[in-house]
Amino acid sequence: MKTSISLKLLSTLLILWVAMTIAVSVAMPEREIGAFGFILSGISGFILVFILDIFSPLLFVYTVIRKLKWGWIFGLAYNGVFLLNCVISLALFPDKFGSGIYFPLIASSLFIFIIYLNKKHFE
């Protein structure tokens, strides 16, 4: 089965997301990150950013390319965790994150929808 256009577009967006995350992390190394009700900065914030914004998207893109059976489950789980973290951060720290958190919230919801629609790609 060929890779659908929506999965190709999603993979491209995730690679751009990773590039943007790296650029922001270099430009603002001491920024604060919301993590399930906690505010992290420094090395702990970097570890969270690395896992959620760099490693996980790249791993998902790898599963799309290799058509690994567990790829769609990982994609749903990763984006679900990311979505949950956004909702919690928005609820607990609306002044700190403001409207900047809406884009990742909407993007993760859309990514979950696209991954679910294309789960047959991974079979």
Distances (CA, A) of 112 to 5, 22, 29, 74, 94: 15, 23, 29, 11, 24
Rounded CA separation 59/121 (Å): 16
pLDDT at 1: 56
Residue ranges, the chain, pLDDT below 50: none
Q: Locate 35 and state its tokens.
A: 């993590």
pTM for this structure?
Answer: 0.85
Indicate the domain borders of the chain.
Answer: 5-122
- Which pLDDT value is given to residue 4? 82
